[in-house]
């Protein structure tokens, strides 16, 4: 450990003087940016939004009499030169009537033929296109928001913003809701109109008076430019312009929350096949299963602030397969949630611990998935919203038995409320799994996120679990989980983070995710960031130092440690890069297998890794990101290379892929292996309603090729027709005197759902 600390300090001392001149330049040009901002109109703390006096025809042009007299909101440049006037004339207008919030963009361009629009797919996040949209903090809670964006092709992109857009993963991209958009291109540029139902937003009104927060953004792709309202500085990184805490507060008068009722039945049919090998034969036994399913989802407003979702015989056949991963550790892999039922305001169910680690009290993939197999969900309910000052989330589902797993009820209750100031919260959560066989696991906890001053936040969390067969002593630290974290959330000048967490020997969150057990963790991070200003080709860059150590609670022995320094940058043209040398220490308590070809014996290991990554400008139709990790690995060597290309041939065709190479060798033990992962995705878009995706993955570690073809027809929100074809191929067919079939399983499924708005 002493060597690790000294190593990190030396690298920090070497790196820091190289940036002293840039720091002075950054300070001068930051003051210049502030002067530019001072020239923009001063806005009140709250803006009253105008009510439309006549109907709006949703055609993109916003030239009806209804829009007359509505003042445009003043956007400023976010990047590449913060605080300057946008390079192209932009008029953003917001208004409303009894049922809808309207957002219009008049997005002028000197050279309309140069407008980039490289996708038509619903929820495509293509960064090489022009963009316009709004971020809405509908409950004005300064932490969560809903985003609605479009491009010249008229596609719809919506997502939830979580945790005040704190990096590295501030979005729930799977969230969808009901809204409409129309766009048009002409000789002046492109124009957009959005119509967002109040029933899709959910908010709290006070006798018809509603307070929300909004952020408007425009992307001018050819200039690698982002413009924003209000004038939000990039002090918190690239996602600064998504931060609800920086949104402009608006007031709507004479608006009341709606209580919508949506009924969405689905029908599904198809054929599934699996193939099992005969011993010493090339033939295989084929098992056919015919799929015939029907189910129902219902959504309604229980009160003006509470929405209830009911589901019966829930099915997720249309969900895309997980990305294949190579596991080089002794810990479980973590996969993100993609199922839509768990998406709406999913941020309220967040009770996670260490930043950058997946540990959490509730992990929704524990419901309906067991050891990689799908578990039938009989049905359940979900409720989210607000009761008085409290944010409320409730979830309860009943799953069917599967092999040795009994039928189980999984339930989660979450409460949070604002305290002290608009940016601080206290909350509580319970998560329980109760099987019909009597097996139980209950987790509960309390948490607080407190804005102490400026960008400094204190996070406190405590959780306990009670499980069948455990001592379940609530006054003991054994079933408990603790977290203390003090962080300065800034990427301009000094930033820092100090945290301590602990998990007891009996802490076992049955509905959560925990990589380790019975440990204490100390972590420290310090960084310094610059916004170099107009005279530099860099938009931002920063240096960092970070260290963590995991200690086994029973004997106080260091189990894992890491210390590293790094430098990362983002250029004004959109290129990005990072370099990070890191020293690791691992105390392996018992031998574990990395693959069938290599194992890691018990022992203590110190090893070094150099990580680098670089990406071309995302504003171009062709984009490539590459990563490289080289260095020692336990008592051997490791080289990992990755490349992710994306090519938008047109607005109707996109090709993308991923290739990962992991080469590990332990020469002293004569063990080595090479693992490959390759993914190829082709996306065809006839228009914004119809798309076809082909997704093929190869993983040499499990000797499999997994293919997926998905056709989607989505004429409007609430109507979906999917045709899905899945197939898994064996690439190593002769194993242990068995000859495996070429195909291990395949399925073709047709699913149709229709939403009735009652």
Sign of CA dihedral 590, 700, 339, 132: positive
**pLDDT mean across residues, the chain:** 87
Assess whether 102 and 243 both reside in one domain.
Answer: yes
Q: What is the CATH number of the domain that holds 179?
A: 2.60.40.1190
Asked if residue 296 lies in contact with residue 309, where contact means CB atoms within 8 angstroms, the answer is no
Assess whether 365 and 233 both reside in one domain.
Answer: no
Query: Residue 654 pairs with which residues in a beta bridge?
Result: 648, 683
- Higher-confidence residue of 593 and 136: namely 136
State residue 361's pLDDT score. 95
Query: What DSSP string describes 353-401?
Result: -STTS--BS--GGGSSEETTEE--EEEEEEEEEEETTEEEEEEEEEE--
- Structural domain span for residue 165: 43-253
Reported as a pLDDT band with limits 50, 70 and 90, residue 220 is very high
Q: Is residue 458 part of a domain?
A: yes
The pLDDT of residue 500 is above 90 = yes
- pLDDT tens digits along 361-374: 999 989 988 887 88
**Mean pLDDT value of segment 340-352:** 82
The pLDDT of residue 330 is above 80 = yes
Assess whether 221 and 81 both reside in one domain.
Answer: yes
The pLDDT of residue 409 is above 60 = yes
Phi, psi values for residue 253, rounded to 5°: -110, 145
Asked if residue 701 lies in contact with residue 595, where contact means CB atoms within 8 angstroms, the answer is yes
User: Which of 255, 246, 171, 245 has the alpha carbon at shortest distance from 211?
Assistant: 255
pTM, two decimals, is 0.82
State residue 280's pLDDT score. 52
Hey, which of 110-114, 125-129, 179-183 has the most confident mean pLDDT? Answer: 179-183
Assess whether 342 and 239 both reside in one domain.
Answer: no
- pLDDT tens digits along 513-567: 999 999 999 999 999 999 898 889 999 999 999 999 999 999 999 999 999 999 9
Percent of the chain with pLDDT over 90: 60
- Higher-confidence residue of 292 and 279: namely 292
Residue count (the chain): 758
Sign of CA dihedral 247, 131, 323, 264: positive
The pLDDT of residue 737 is above 70 = no
**Least confident stretch, 58-67, 266-275, 327-336, 727-736:** 727-736
Q: Is residue 147 part of a domain?
A: yes
State residue 23's pLDDT score. 40
State residue 74's pLDDT score. 95
Reported as a pLDDT band with limits 50, 70 and 90, residue 575 is very high
Q: For residue 118, what is the enclosing H or E element?
A: none
DSSP state at residue 492: S
Assess whether 346 and 202 both reside in one domain.
Answer: no
Q: Which one of 481, 497, 517 terminates a domain?
A: 517
Q: Is residue 230 part of a domain?
A: yes
User: Which of 27, 417, 78 has the alpha carbon at shortest distance from 238?
Assistant: 78
**Least confident stretch, 123-127, 602-606, 634-638, 710-714:** 123-127
User: Which of 364, 257, 350, 339 has the alpha carbon at shortest distance from 306?
Assistant: 257
The pLDDT of residue 238 is above 90 = no
How many structural domains is the chain composed of? 2
Q: Is residue 263 part of a domain?
A: no
**Mean pLDDT value of segment 571-575:** 90
State residue 36's pLDDT score. 45
The pLDDT of residue 22 is above 60 = no
Assess whether 235 and 333 both reside in one domain.
Answer: no
| DSSP E strands, 109-144 | 131-137
**Mean pLDDT value of segment 492-508:** 95
The pLDDT of residue 40 is above 50 = no
Asked if residue 412 lies in contact with residue 403, where contact means CB atoms within 8 angstroms, the answer is no
The pLDDT of residue 492 is above 50 = yes
Q: Which residues contact 698 (CB under 8 A, 6 or more apart)?
A: 324, 676, 677, 678, 679, 704, 705, 706, 731
Assess whether 228 and 361 both reside in one domain.
Answer: no
**Least confident stretch, 228-232, 290-294, 323-327, 673-677:** 323-327
**Mean pLDDT value of segment 472-481:** 91
Compute the distance between CA of residue 540 and CA of residue 80 in angstroms, rounded to an integer: 10
> In 3-state terms, what secondary structure has residue 215?
strand
Q: Is residue 364 part of a domain?
A: yes
Hey, which of 112-126, 267-281, 656-670, 701-715 has the most confident mean pLDDT? Answer: 656-670
> What is the C-alpha radius of gyration for the chain, rounded to an integer number of angstroms?
27
| Cα distances (angstroms) measured from residue 182 to each of 58, 66, 173 | 6, 17, 22
Reported as a pLDDT band with limits 50, 70 and 90, residue 20 is very low
Q: Is residue 272 part of a domain?
A: no
The pLDDT of residue 496 is above 90 = yes
State residue 173's pLDDT score. 81
Give Cα 13 to chain centroid, integer Å.
35
Q: Which one of 253, 275, 304 terminates a domain?
A: 253
**Mean pLDDT value of segment 465-477:** 89
User: Which of 505, 515, 510 has the alpha carbon at shortest distance from 478?
Assistant: 505
State residue 202's pLDDT score. 79
**Mean pLDDT value of segment 189-197:** 96
Long-range contact list for 403-407, CB < 8 A, 24+ apart? 405/370, 405/375, 405/435, 406/435, 406/436, 406/437, 406/439, 407/378, 407/435, 407/436
State residue 32's pLDDT score. 44
Q: Is residue 573 part of a domain?
A: no
Assess whether 121 and 212 both reside in one domain.
Answer: yes
Reported as a pLDDT band with limits 50, 70 and 90, residue 43 is low
Q: For residue 8, what is the enclosing H or E element?
A: helix 2-15
**Mean pLDDT value of segment 666-679:** 92
Assess whether 113 and 221 both reside in one domain.
Answer: yes
Residue with tokens 């997980």: 322
**Mean pLDDT value of segment 230-253:** 93
- pLDDT tens digits along 597-651: 888 999 999 999 999 999 998 888 899 999 999 999 999 999 999 999 999 988 8
Q: Which residues contact 10 (CB under 8 A, 6 or more apart)?
A: none
Compute the distance between CA of residue 410 and CA of residue 399 in angstroms, rounded to an integer: 8
The pLDDT of residue 398 is above 90 = yes
State residue 15's pLDDT score. 39
> In 3-state terms, what secondary structure has residue 347?
helix
The pLDDT of residue 26 is above 50 = no
State residue 716's pLDDT score. 86
State residue 16's pLDDT score. 37
Reported as a pLDDT band with limits 50, 70 and 90, residue 10 is very low
Neighbours of 33 (CB within 10 A): 21
Assess whether 373 and 249 both reside in one domain.
Answer: no
Assess whether 249 and 332 both reside in one domain.
Answer: no
Percent of the chain with pLDDT over 70: 92
Compute the distance between CA of residue 643 and CA of residue 659 in angstroms, rounded to an integer: 5
Asked if residue 149 lies in contact with residue 158, where contact means CB atoms within 8 angstroms, the answer is yes
- Higher-confidence residue of 127 and 487: namely 487
Assess whether 135 and 216 both reside in one domain.
Answer: yes
Q: Which one of 500, 517, 534 terminates a domain?
A: 517
Q: Is residue 499 part of a domain?
A: yes
The pLDDT of residue 33 is above 60 = no
């Amino acid at each position: 450990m002493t060597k690790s600390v000294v190593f990190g300090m030396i690298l920090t001392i070497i790196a820091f003087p190289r940036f002293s001149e840039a720091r002075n330049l950054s300070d001068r040009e930051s003051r210049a940016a502030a002067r530019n901002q001072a020239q923009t109109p001063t806005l009140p703390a709250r803006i009253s939004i105008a009510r439309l006096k006549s109907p709006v025809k949703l055609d993109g042009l916003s030239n009806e009499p209804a829009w007359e007299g509505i003042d445009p909101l003043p956007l400023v440049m976010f990047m590449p030169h913060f605080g300057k006037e946008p390079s192209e004339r932009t008029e953003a207008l917001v208004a409303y009537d009894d049922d809808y919030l309207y957002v219009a963009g008049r997005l002028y361009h000197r050279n309309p033929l140069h407008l980039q629009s490289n996708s038509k797919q619903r929820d495509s996040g293509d960064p090489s296109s022009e963009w316009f949209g709004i971020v809405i903090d509908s409950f004005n809670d300064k932490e969560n928001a809903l985003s609605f964006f479009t491009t010249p092709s008229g596609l719809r992109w919506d997502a939830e913003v979580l945790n005040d857009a704190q990096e590295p993963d501030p979005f729930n991209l799977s969230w969808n809701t009901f809204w409409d958009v129309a766009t048009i291109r002409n000789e002046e540029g492109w124009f957009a109109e959005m119509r967002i139902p109040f029933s899709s937003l959910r908010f709290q009104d006070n006798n018809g008076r509603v307070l929300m927060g909004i952020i408007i953004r425009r992307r001018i792709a050819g200039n690698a430019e982002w413009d924003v309202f209000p004038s939000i500085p990039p002090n918190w990184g690239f996602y600064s312009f998504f931060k609800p805490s920086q949104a402009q507060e608006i007031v709507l008068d004479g608006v009341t929350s709606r209580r919508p009722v949506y009924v969405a039945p689905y029908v599904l049919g198809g054929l599934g096949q699996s193939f099992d090998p005969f011993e010493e034969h090339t033939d295989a036994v084929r098992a056919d299963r015919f799929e015939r399913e029907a189910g129902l989802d219902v959504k309604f407003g229980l009160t003006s602030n509470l929405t209830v979702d009911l589901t019966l015989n829930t099915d997720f056949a249309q969900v895309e397969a997980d990305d294949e991963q190579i596991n080089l550790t002794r810990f479980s892999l973590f996969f993100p949630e993609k199922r839509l039922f768990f998406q709406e305001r999913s941020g309220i169910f967040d009770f996670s611990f260490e930043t950058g680690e997946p540990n959490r009290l509730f992990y929704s993939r524990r419901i309906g998935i067991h050891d990689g197999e799908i578990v039938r969900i009989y049905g359940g309910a979900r409720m989210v919203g607000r009761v008085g000052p409290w944010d409320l989330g409730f979830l309860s589902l009943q799953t069917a038995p599967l092999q040795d797993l009994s039928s189980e009820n999984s339930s989660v209750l979450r409460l949070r409320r604002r305290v002290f100031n608009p940016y601080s919260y206290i909350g509580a959560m319970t998560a329980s799994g109760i099987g019909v066989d009597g097996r139980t696991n209950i987790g509960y906890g309390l948490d607080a996120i407190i804005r102490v001053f400026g960008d400094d936040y204190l996070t406190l969390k405590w959780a306990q679990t009670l499980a069948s067969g455990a001592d379940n002593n609530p006054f003991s630290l054994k079933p408990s989980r603790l977290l203390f974290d003090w962080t300065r959330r800034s990427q301009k000048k000094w930033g820092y983070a100090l945290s301590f967490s602990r998990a007891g020997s009996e802490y076992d969150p049955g509905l959560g995710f925990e990589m380790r057990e019975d440990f204490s963790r100390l972590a420290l991070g310090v960084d310094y960031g610059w916004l170099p200003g107009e005279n530099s080709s860099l938009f931002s860059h920063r240096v960092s130092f970070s260290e963590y150590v995991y200690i086994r609670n029973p004997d106080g022995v260091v189990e894992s440690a890491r210390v590293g320094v790094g430098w990362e940058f983002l250029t004004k043209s959109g290129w990005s890069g990072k370099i990070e040398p890191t020293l690791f220490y691992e105390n392996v308590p018992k031998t574990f297998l990395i693959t069938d070809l290599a194992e890691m014996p018990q022992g203590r290991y110190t090893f070094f890794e150099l990580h680098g990554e670089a990406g071309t400008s995302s504003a171009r139709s062709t984009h490539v990101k590459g990563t490289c990790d080289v260095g020692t690995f336990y008592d051997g060597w490791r080289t990992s290379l990755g490349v992710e290309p994306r090519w938008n041939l047109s607005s109707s065709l996109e090709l993308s892929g991923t290739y990962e190479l992991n080469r590990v060798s332990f020469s002293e033990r004569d063990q080595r292996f090479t693992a490959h992962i390759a993914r190829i995705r082709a996306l065809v878009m006839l228009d914004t309603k119809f798309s076809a995706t082909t997704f093929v993955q190869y993983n040499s570690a499990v000797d499999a090729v997994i293919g997926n073809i998905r056709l989607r027809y989505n004429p409007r929100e609430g109507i979906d027709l999917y045709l899905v074809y899945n197939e898994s191929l064996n690439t190593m067919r002769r194993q242990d005197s068995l000859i495996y079939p070429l195909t291990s399983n395949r399925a073709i499924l047709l699913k149709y759902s229709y939403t009735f708005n009652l």
